[in-house]
Structure 1
Amino acid sequence: METNLNVGIETPKDKLELRTTIKEFKDFYGYEPYVISSSPGRLDFLNTHQDYKGLPVVGIAVNLRVYIALRRIEGSEAIIASGNLMDQGVDYVDRFDVSKVMLRRDGWFGDYFRATYMYLREMGYTLGGVKAWVRSWVPIASGLGSSGALITAFLGGLNEVFDLGLSTSDIAEAAYRVEHYVMGIPCGRLDQYTSAYGGVVLINTKPPYDVRRLRFKEGVFAVLDSCIKHSTMDVHSIKQRELREALSKLITIANDELRKKLSTDLSRVSWEELTEEELMPYLSNLPMELRNRVLFTLRMHESTKLALKVIEGVKPKRSELSRVLKPIKCRVSLRSSDWFLKVIGCVMTYQHILLRDLYEVSTPELDRLVRVSIRYGAYGAKLSGAGMGGVVIALFKDIEEANNLVNHCLRRRYACRGYVVSVDEGLRTWPP
């Protein structure tokens, strides 16, 4: 059986990655896969650390993708092998009985696939055994949504192999629930929804979890990997605990009107109705660390609303730029041809400052990458993902400028890896 490589292939890079995945599956199992499923990594573009609070976030799917080749087999055994782990010389094959699957824990790579089976069976779907081969070009634990892309791609493959009838929305929500509820990772919906839908998307993280595609066609992004690995679970757990503690203290001292807007369930707080002015008399009674977590949430969201207006083509007033982006001087001529990119860049840099100072999830290495990016002509730069390591993303006018930054950071060893990325499609599958 020959897999058709001419369906939906747009670039030589896509075709090479697809051929590699198919060849490795065939070399390992001895025959062709039935389907290949692929999902993109993502840039955590706007409103970082807000999706688990029920606030809207903006993600960008990029052309760093994970590929999974699958074939349905008789019986109830699933065999999953990872080409990336094979390259590292570590255990790279997981086997389990899909009729009585359990998680192994302790960071075992196979748990992503086990958890997916567990969730689908719990939802009433009938699944049999598969053989699968994974090859990923999304750096792991770098703030590019590698685990969300992996689960999304696996769901997409199972959907084809077992004819489950899942829509893009179904797959996005299932991927979130697999990671959040089955695996117990305190993530929001940014990664899974961006990976499933692709493009530049505004994700409403409250029901009905709708997605709106944004027109963002100008500029290019450089991605600089610090190669400082982080645990999303650790970072998110700490910050969510701190914010819940802050809200708990506010509830005990707030007046009745304000108390109605608060909750220790982060997604049930009326964040969009709260203002700094009404909170400030009470925030002054909190330790600085807890006060900053609340201020971060409000200011991050306010700057995201500004960016969304700009993306929709609305020119902001200078007074609005000064009010929203208080700590930085956003020098923008609103008559210039690149005013749009300049304002978006200012918002990016401002959000990095908030992540550094009010949420404390940056590191000196990430801060240096942001400074160097701006020195090399970036409109703006910020960390992407949970923080405490991972990548910095920088917005440029053209590919040449972005490449210059990447090459400089690699030469100076400020980054261990660097990419100039383009916006990419979401979940894709290739049948035989």
Structure 2
Amino acid sequence: MVVVSSPGRADFLNTHQDYKGLPVVPAAINLRLYMSAKPTGGKVFTVKSLDLERYGEPSTDTFEVKVNEMLEKGFFGNYLRGVVNVMVKRGLAEKLRGMDITIKSEIPIGSGLASSAALEVSFAKLLDHVCGLGCTKKELAEIAYAAENQEAGIPCGRLDQYGVAFGGIIKLECRPPFRVEPLPFRTLTFAIIDSGVRHSTGAIHPKRQQEIDRALKKLMESKSVPEKLKAKLGYRFDQPRWEDLHEKDLQDYLSILDYKSRMRVVFTLRMQRLTDLALKVLRFEPLGKEELISTLGLESWKRIQRSPDGERNYRILGEIMNEQQSLLRDLYEVSIAEIEDICSEALAAGAYGAKISGAGMGGSVIALVKNEEEGKKVVKVCLSIGSKDGWVSKVGEGVRVERP
């Protein structure tokens, strides 16, 4: 029996930016999905999810080493079929062998903790290990991404698959060649709160992408926008050189946009600026007072100043998380009352910062806490207001073979 496991991931920083080609910062967590397999020697896969069986949902699938059709939308087997499809299309069919597979996961489904990516990456690693494919972590992440995005038709970016495959805390550049930078500041502890409100990425991403496209079309077709600025833009959400744009560059032209599309553009620019600041902390680079005040504001600076020296970097990261949550709520409109209540209670219980993990409109909140004891306090308080579940997690490892 071969056993492979993958972590869930916390969508730590720059949420809703990967599909725009901007860098994102996922953090692997200790909750893991386990995939046990017995090779059969044939060309047929039989799969059983113990968790879905317990929930009374469709929990089994059977498919072959070929380009398989996708079944009903949201069916868990589509993600696995997608992995096989990608490998077959890449000329690996002769190497693939059938297996009997059992799945058991600690990662709640639809909670913004990358349960589908953990499923895909585990299966890709399982096939890689058993069939001797010799895949790198990056290749596993790309196979898993193609399985979800191209085969299953979910309009996701690469955040989840790379976060799960590599583990730790990474900066992922979301334009080719998709460079990964492991970040050295890893001594972080998170309280993870499942709101119990289920969400679907497929319902959120396309709408926000369309709103940004609408803004870009208006800017590109406006005679008042200089050609030099248009050269940094484009007509599609993933075409602008967002990281080279500043809010002041667009300030004189935002008024020609409708309210919603204007908010989506401003959100994109402000989230990136906050993430740039956080990356300096995660690389242990020095930060000046003026930079902190200009990015986070005077009140945040005062809270940072009041922090003990040993906690200052955690406080800065917490302030950045809080500011990004405000942008997700106010400018991207992907938060809901239950999420806001969890964030407020987590902060009141002592968390440095709290924000949505994942696409939003439900799912989970991640809160940065001082240590495991403080994390347990945050979880207890959030459960008392009706949250479904909660965990305390250090930064986890990426996909791995548990039993060869």
Normalising by the smaller structure, the TM-score range is: over 0.9
2:155–2:202 contact (8 Å) kept in structure 1: yes
Does residue 226 (structure 1) correspond to residue 195 (structure 2)? The answer is yes
**Deviation digits for residues 281-331 of structure 1 (CA, Å, limit 9, x no counterpart):** 111111111101000000000000011112222342232222212496342
2:67–2:89 contact (8 Å) kept in structure 1: no
1:327–1:350 contact (8 Å) kept in structure 2: no
Q: 1:188 to 1:100 in 2, by over 3 A?
A: closer
**1:427 aligns to what?**
399
The residue type equivalent to 1:385 in the other structure is G
**2:232 aligns to what?**
261
2:212–2:236 contact (8 Å) kept in structure 1: no
**1:70 aligns to what?**
37
- Calculate percent identity across the aligned residue pairs: 42
2:169–2:183 contact (8 Å) kept in structure 1: yes
SS in 1 for 2:73: coil
Does residue 101 (structure 1) correspond to residue 103 (structure 2)? The answer is no
Q: Using the alignment, how far apart are the partners of 1:341 and 1:100 within structure 2?
A: 47
Does residue 382 (structure 1) correspond to residue 355 (structure 2)? The answer is yes
SS in 2 for 1:340: helix
Q: TM-score, normalised by structure 1?
A: 0.89
Q: 1:337 to 1:431 in 2, by over 3 A?
A: closer
The residue type equivalent to 2:273 in the other structure is E
**1:154 aligns to what?**
123
**2:390 aligns to what?**
418
Superposed, which structure 2 residues align to 1:130-279 within 5 Å? 130-253=99-222, 254-279=225-250
**2:344 aligns to what?**
371
Deviation at 1:178, TM superposition (A): 1.1
1:249–1:286 contact (8 Å) kept in structure 2: yes
Deviation at 1:336, TM superposition (A): 2.4
**1:325 aligns to what?**
296
2:351–2:367 contact (8 Å) kept in structure 1: yes
* 1:58 pairs with one of 25, 30, 35: 25
Higher mean Cα deviation, 384-393 or 325-334?
A: 325-334
Q: Using the alignment, how far apart are the partners of 1:341 and 1:264 within structure 2?
A: 38
The residue type equivalent to 1:96 in the other structure is F
Q: Using the alignment, how far apart are the partners of 1:389 and 1:184 within structure 2?
A: 21
Superposed, which structure 2 residues align to 1:279-294 within 5 Å? 279-294=250-265
SS in 2 for 1:55: coil
**Deviation digits for residues 371-420 of structure 1 (CA, Å, limit 9, x no counterpart):** 1111111111111100000111111111111111111221232x110100
- Unaligned runs of 5+ residues in structure 2 are none
* 2:52 pairs with one of 79, 82, 85: 85
Deviation at 1:58, TM superposition (A): 0.5
**Deviation digits for residues 259-297 of structure 1 (CA, Å, limit 9, x no counterpart):** 111112333211111111121111111111110100000
SS in 2 for 1:151: helix
Q: 1:359 to 1:326 in 2, by over 3 A?
A: farther
SS in 2 for 1:362: coil
Residue correspondences, number: 398
**Deviation digits for residues 112-161 of structure 1 (CA, Å, limit 9, x no counterpart):** 11111111100100223221111111111001011111100000001112
Deviation at 1:204, TM superposition (A): 1.0
**1:30 aligns to what?**
none
**1:42 aligns to what?**
9
Higher mean Cα deviation, 259-268 or 133-142?
A: 259-268
The residue type equivalent to 1:324 in the other structure is T
1:345–1:381 contact (8 Å) kept in structure 2: yes
1:362–1:389 contact (8 Å) kept in structure 2: yes
Q: Using the alignment, how far apart are the partners of 1:44 and 1:100 within structure 2?
A: 31
* 2:275 pairs with one of 304, 310, 313: 304
The residue type equivalent to 1:247 in the other structure is L
SS in 2 for 1:70: strand
The residue type equivalent to 1:350 in the other structure is E
